[in-house]
Structure formats: structure tokens, C-alpha cells
Chain A
């Protein structure tokens, strides 16, 4: 494991897996043994369907850390959070919303730079030929959310409705959770739902990667800029060697050929150290609706 040895995490791969499963199921921590590989959690906030991208990322981190790396994918934010919070993952690319909810238990590692800024927006989308142009027009529609732990895919719209003293179940005729921003676009494009709440960064990037699918949808509302989904680790692992190395690898990504390829695929400019205040807007929304959710 080289430099990444940490007295707090002496776990073998096998016992890690057992422990991870046990924790996921029972929600309790097991005794930590030295890990032989670094684990990097991914959520659907990221374009996790691109196999080549995952392979490149894995290879880049492996070369940068001189250590085996394992990308851990789960269907929901909740599953990743349940692994991240107890330190069963070294780091994970999460969303701003879970971050603000678990701020005390988490530590920010890095924030991606999109179009030069660590910011993104949330979009409300409808089918291209839909007559709807405002949120008000979506009343009585069927609506697709991404994940109940997603900022752009749920919280932003939920907050807008709360401002109208409305709730999704009453405002919309039917709501579904697709557990992925790409799936929200698919649901709206296919006509399964009339509208959807989606990550603006994902929608923008998919305009290039899957133009036909995205062209079937239309953005009717963009939120103000918010903190881009960050890479975070459990607070208790904040200053570990592994965390430091991962942070450094991410910060240097734009300097490396493979790293540049990854960033190009992700349409990102690079990573910068995270500023917790980036997520104040999200935190405010969360505070506003906390009692309602």
C-alpha cells in the first residue's frame, strides 16, 4: 500500500468487502484492517455509464497513487453515503445535497471546475414539443426526479414547490425517481413523464454525447449557479495519507495526458480545493424544507 498506510484502516480486501456488506446491511462499523486498495465511490451525479471513462479514471488514479484502486458504483446516493460515512470508502464523488446534510461527518476533498468555475445549475426540462414553459405549467403533470438525495434532481424543485406551499405528490399528478440524471432525460424524452428535474451539467454534456436523446427535451428553467457536486471523504479520514494523495492526484489531473482525456470526456477543466461555502445555497434550501421532507 506504500504511503497510504493508516493505523485507522488496517483492513484486507476480503475483510473490507465483508465489512462493507455487513455495514451496508446492519449500518454498524467493523474492525478496520489495513486496506490493499483505495476505494473511490461514484454516484449517478457523474456520467457513470461511460465504461471507457471509468477505465481511464481507474488507470489514472492507479498510476498517480501507485496503488490499486477500485471504483465503487451504487445505484443510489444513499448507498454510497452509507459506505462513505463510516469510512468504508476512501473518497466518493457525491452531490452537494448529501454533503450539506452530513456536513459534520464529511470532509471535502476537491471540487470540479466546469466552464472554469466550481458551479453548475439545476434544470427543469420538458419534452421538446410540450407547451409548458414555466413551473406553473407543470402542475398536474407527471414528473421525473433523479434521486431524493440529489440537489439538482430533487431538492431544487422540491424547494421551488415549497415556496409555493406545494408538495411534489400534490403538485404533480405522478412522480417517479429514476436514480440517475441521464434516466431523467430518458424518461422525459420517451414521454414516460411530462417533465423532469435534472443536473444542468449532465444535460449540457449529454447534448454533445447523446444529442438525439437530449434534443427530444427542452429546458424551461435554470436555477442560479450552485456548488458543483464535490469529492468528499469521511471526516474521520480527512488528513489521512490516502486522502491527501487522492486530493493531489485530482488537482494534477489536468497536467497529465490521461487526466486530460478524462477531463475532456467529462467536459471539466480540472479540480480545485473545495470551499465549504460553495454549498451554502444548497444548505439554505435544505434548511428551508427540512421540516417538510
Chain B
């Protein structure tokens, strides 16, 4: 199984705990946010209420003094009030008159009497706010308008230290983060354990399916199949049934390939009979001639030549057939002569269809590929090309070894190859046998090519035309230097 880093390819047993963890983080985030928001609102209300209580108390105490612009009494109220409001640490209180001059402040050094209030205070409350919280400085400013008989006579500003509240909020945040992290880890761990356990049968199934892709069809061990008749039990049983069916099919396919070989043999048998029969007539005549005119040396020698050539021809046919269909045995290297034999084997078909065969065999005497399998591939391709070629058409055959490959090119003027057949030649979609009449041949070539690690390139033009531009098949077979020293697979 190839390793991929794409998240879609991660195993479920990893993805699900990750997802649980992510959801926990999300949930933790949402809950933390809600809690902090609620805490923040509560604290703000708390600060507001305390500040309001403080300002209300101070306002009512200070009002008569503000009316008289009494600096000392106003200061005295602020100075005393500062230490009288538990739960609220008031850092500064400033009383300003309507013209924004300071009447008194709890800290007269920071806010001197008769000075204008700092611009900062004007800006803080310019949009009519009552409470302004500055979390960075850890303080809150609050304003209350001082009114007497409905008339505004000034403002009272209070700066409250809220660093304690912010500290509580920070601590709450850290606690929430710690809790969420702990819960996330716990949930992710639990999720991993549970999901791994739940998905164990699935990974067994996955391993077996992957093994099929690598050509190994094995049943799932009965001990591994869950005893409880749940979905995994049914799935594994069905898998085993499917694996059995696949094995049957494989056997059948192999048998079909054998039968294809025999079918070709059958086809060749008639051609062979023809090839054998042709010289037989001449040879019979030669024998008669020898009987009658055997005394004449010239006549006898000519007749014997005819007999010899006839016998040679028959020997060639039988040798080629034997070489091609000798079945299992030691894998032997291909020879230039083997390819020439194939030309001889298809000769009768070429002749019958009046095909103009342009044969170019530029191979060396020994070629390090499996002779038997290569011959079957080439013969198949040539026979099919003959079938496809129009009467009187041209058929090119070219064999060469340009580098580490045996390159065989078969080019006909036939109508082209259907896509399904082409796919099978390339070794694709091998589980389905094409219904085409060339289907079995193509399947066989595809299988054999795969076995030799070869490759086929198909250039087809004008599929379906009777007199098309033809098809060019280029087969590349890698040279295997160990061929001739090991047992053949076929």
C-alpha cells in the first residue's frame, strides 16, 4: 500500500480521534468563549453597580459642596470615600465643574484644582458612555453627571482598578484552556482506542483487499471473523465468498489462456496441413519420377531435391509449431531464427489474404527475452493483424534491439482496435473479458506482457473503417539477462 500524506488517505482510526479532538477543541473554544463572555458581562455589571453605588454616594455627599465650589469639603468627601467602599478599589475620583475645570480630586497632584480635566477624559466619554473599561491598563473609568434641580452642575469621574477582576478572568481562561486540553486529550485517546477497536475488522478487510490488488487472494482467517453476526461478520463472510469466486475466475482465466493457445494451434493446424500438403503433391510426383526414371541421374537428383525441399518445409512447420507450443520447460532466450519461424507460421495466412508482408528482422542472433512467451505474443499480434488487414493490404513487421529492449512493431491497414480490446492489450481492466472476437487474444497478450514486464503502445486511426489508416502496435520487452538460466514461468 502506498503511503500518502493527504488527509483523505489517513487511516480512520487516526482520523476519527483527530476529529473528536478537533470537535472537543471547538466545543471547548465555544464553551470557554461563552463562559468568558458571561463572566465579562457579570464583572462589567458588577463593576458598574459598585461604581454607581460609589458615585451615587459620593455625588450626594459632594453635591452641596460643588454647588458652593468648596474645594476642601469636596476633596474631604473624595478622600474619605476612597477608603470606605469595600470591594472597589477607586484609584482616582475627579470632580469637574461644567466648564471642565477640576474642583477637587482624590489625587490633587494628578488632577490639580482649577486645571482643565485631561483631554483623555473628554475623549473617553464624548459619545455619552457611562463606563469605559480599559483591559490593557486594568482600569475602568466611570462618569456621573452632578445634577441639582435638573440642572447639570458638573461631572464626577471615577477611575476604578479592575486588575483583580481581570486576573480572575485570566485565571478562568487558563483553567478553561487546561480543562479543554485535558478533555481533548482524554477524548482523543478514548476515541482512538474505541475507533481502533471498532475498525479493526475493517482494517483486516482492507489488508485482504489490498492483497488482492497485489495478486494474492487469501481468505480471512475464520478466527479473525467476529463471532457475533453483525455487519462485519457478514462482510467478512461475503469477502471470503468473493475471494473464492475470484480464485475460481483466475483458474478459469488461466484455462482460457491455455484454450486460446490450443485455439491458435487449431487455426494453425489447417494452415500447417496446407503447408505440409503443398510439398506432398510435389514429393509424390518426385517419388513417381524416381521410380520411373530413377536411372537418369539428372532426373533423380532433381526429384531428390524436390523431396528434400518438401521435407525441409514440413520439418520447418513442425519445428516451429513444436517450439511455440512445447509448453512448460526451461525458459530459453529468443533467437533471430525463432522470429523467422513465426514468419513461416503465418505464411499461409499472408498468402491466402494476398497480404503484402514487409518483414524486417534486425535482431541479433540471441535476444535475452523468454522465447516461448515472446513467440506467443508476436504470433498473436501478427495473426490478429492478418485478420484485420484488408485483402491485398500491406502488413509491416519490424523487430530490433536498439538498447535494453526488444522492440517489435506490427503495422496493418485494418480498421483499428476497439477501446476495450486496446485496454486489455495494455493489461488494464483484466477482470473483464471482452466480448470482441479478438478479446481472448488481447487478454492473453496483456497477461503475457505483464508477466515479462513489457509495454505496448497502440496508435489507432479511424476505428470502425474497413479501409482505415490502420493500427501501429509497438511492443517493448525489457531484456532480462538471467533468461536462459532460470525456469520459465509459462
Q: Could you list which residues of chain A lie within 8 angstroms of chain B, going by C-beta atoms?
A: 142, 144, 174, 176-179, 183, 186-187, 190-193
Complex CA gap A183/B104 in Å reads 15
Q: B79, A186: Cβ atoms under 8 Å?
A: yes
Most buried by A among B104, B107, B108: B108
Query: Contacts of B76 on A, CB cut-off 8 Å?
Result: 178, 183, 186
B198-233 vs A, CB cutoff 8 Å, 1 = contact: the mask equals: 000000000000000000000000000000000000
Give the CA-CA distance A46 to B72 in the complex, in Å.
Answer: 20
Kindly state whether residue B109 has any CB partner on chain A within 8 Å: yes
Contacts known (A190-B107, A192-B104); A176 close to B114, Cβ less than 8 A: no
* Contact call A144/B113, Cβ cutoff below 8 A: no
Knowing A176-B71, A178-B72, A179-B72, say if A190 contacts B79 (CB, 8 Å). yes
- Residues of A near B72 (CB, < 8 A) are 144, 176-179, 183, 187, 192
- Residues on B facing A (Cβ under 8 Å): 70-72, 75-76, 79, 104, 107-109, 112-114
List of A residues within 8 angstroms of B109 by Cβ:
190-191
Complex contacts, B112 vs chain A, CB 8 Å: 191
Task: Give the distance in Å from the alpha carbon of A193 to the alpha carbon of B75 in the complex.
Answer: 11
A191 near B108: Cβ-Cβ < 8 Å: yes
Complex alpha-carbon distance, A77 and B71, angstroms = 20
With a cutoff of 8 Å between Cβ atoms, the chain B residues found around residue A174 in the complex are 71, 113-114
Q: Can you sample 24 A-B contacts with CB below 8 Å?
A: A142-B113, A174-B71, A174-B113, A174-B114, A176-B70, A176-B71, A178-B72, A179-B72, A183-B72, A183-B76, A187-B72, A187-B75, A190-B79, A190-B107, A190-B108, A191-B107, A191-B108, A191-B109, A191-B112, A192-B71, A192-B72, A192-B75, A192-B108, A193-B108
B384 to nearest A CB, angstroms?
111
Chain B CB within 10 Å — which of A142, A179, A192 has the most?
Answer: A192
B67 nearest CB across to chain A (Å): 16
Q: Is the interface of A mostly helix, strand, loop or mixed?
A: mixed
The 6 A-B pairs at the shortest CB distance, nearest first, are namely: A191-B109, A192-B108, A191-B108, A176-B72, A178-B72, A176-B71
User: 16 other contacts beyond A186-B76, A192-B104, A192-B108, with CB at 8 A cut-off?
Assistant: A144-B72, A174-B71, A174-B113, A174-B114, A176-B70, A176-B72, A178-B72, A183-B72, A187-B72, A187-B75, A190-B75, A191-B109, A191-B112, A192-B72, A192-B75, A193-B108
Q: Which residues of B contact A193 (CB under 8 A)?
A: 108
Q: Hey, which chain A residues are within 8 Å of B79, CB to CB?
A: 186, 190
B165 to chain A, nearest CB (A): 27
The residue of chain B having its C-beta at the shortest distance from the C-beta of A178 within the complex is B72
- Closest residue of chain B to A179 (Cβ to Cβ) is B72
In the assembled complex, the CB of B119 is this many whole angstroms from the nearest CB of chain A, namely 21
Q: Cα distance A192–B75 when bound, in Å?
A: 8
CA distance A193 to B76 in the complex (A): 13
- Our count of residue pairs bridging A and B at CB distance below 8 angstroms stands at 34
Bound CA–CA A191/B110 (angstroms): 9
Q: How many angstroms between the C-alpha atoms of A186 and B106 in the bound complex?
A: 11
User: Could you tell me the distance between the alpha carbons of A142 and B112 in the complex, rounded to whole angstroms?
Assistant: 10
Query: Please, how many angstroms separate the alpha-carbon atoms of A277 and B104 in the complex?
Result: 42
Q: Name the residue on A nearest B110 (C-beta).
A: A191
Closest to B106 in A: A190
CA A190 to CA B75, docked complex, whole Å: 10
Across the interface, which residues of A come within 8 angstroms of B107, CB to CB? 190-191
Partner of B113, one of A178, A186, A192: A192
Residue of A nearest to B105 (CB): A192
Which residues of chain B come closer than 8 Å to A176, judged between CB atoms? 70-72
Q: Which residues of A contact B75 (CB under 8 A)?
A: 187, 190, 192
Complex contacts, A191 vs chain B, CB 8 Å: 107-109, 112
A150 to B406, CA, bound (A): 128
CA distance A183 to B70 in the complex (A): 14
Residues of the B chain whose Cβ atoms lie less than 8 Å from the Cβ of A186: 76, 79
Q: Considering the chains assembled together, what is the distance between the CA atoms of A176 and B114 in angstroms?
A: 13
Shortest CB-to-CB span from B392 to chain A, Å, is 123
From residue A198, how far is it (CB to closest CB) to chain B in Å? 14
CA distance A144 to B76 in the complex (A): 13
Residue with the greatest number of chain A CB neighbours at <10 A, chosen from B70, B71, B72: B72
Chain B nearest Cβ from A219, distance in angstroms:
20
The minimal Cβ–Cβ distance linking B223 to chain A, given in whole angstroms, is 87
Residue of B nearest to A187 (CB): B72
Residue of A nearest to B112 (CB): A191
Contacts of A178 in B (CB 8 A): 72, 76
A192 and B107 CA atoms in complex are apart in Å by: 8
- Give the complex CA separation of A239 and B113 in angstroms: 50
Give Cα A190 to B109, complex, Å.
7
Chain A residues, CB < 8 A from B114: 174
Separation in Å of the B47 CB from the closest CB of chain A? 26
Closest chain-A Cβ to B110's Cβ sits at a distance in Å of: 8
**Residues of chain B lying within 8 A (CB to CB) of residue A179:** 72
* Chain A min CB distance to B38 (Å): 40
Which residues from chain A contact B71 at a C-beta distance below 8 Å?
174, 176, 192
Nearest CB in chain B to that of A75: its residue: B73
A192 neighbours in B (Cβ, 8 Å): 71-72, 75, 104, 108, 113
Most A Cβ at <10 Å: residue of B71, B112, B114: B71
Q: Once the chains are docked, how many angstroms separate the CA of A260 from the CA of B370? A: 131
Chain B residues in 8 Å Cβ range of A177:
72
* B residues less than 8 Å from A190 (CB atoms): 75, 79, 107-109
CA distance A144 to B104 in the complex (A): 14
Residue among B70, B75, B104, B109 with max Cβ neighbours from chain A (10 Å) = B75
Complex Cα distance, B71 from A177, in Å, reads 9
- Residues in B with CB closer than 8 Å to A142 are 113
Shortest distance between the CB of A93 and any CB in chain B (Å): 22
**Whole-angstrom distance between the alpha carbons of A174 and B108 in the complex?**
14
Nearest B-chain residue to A127, judged by Cβ:
B109
Interfacial chain B residues near A187, Cβ < 8 Å: 72, 75
Q: How far is the CA of A111 from the CA of B15 in the complex (A)?
A: 95
Q: Within the complex, what minimum Cβ distance (angstroms) separates B76 from chain A?
A: 7
**Closest B residue, CB atoms, query A190:** B108
Bound Cα distance from A115 to B107, whole angstroms? 36
Question: Which of chain B's residues have a CB closer than 8 A to the CB of A144?
Answer: 72
Minimum Cβ distance to chain A for residue B31 (Å)? 48
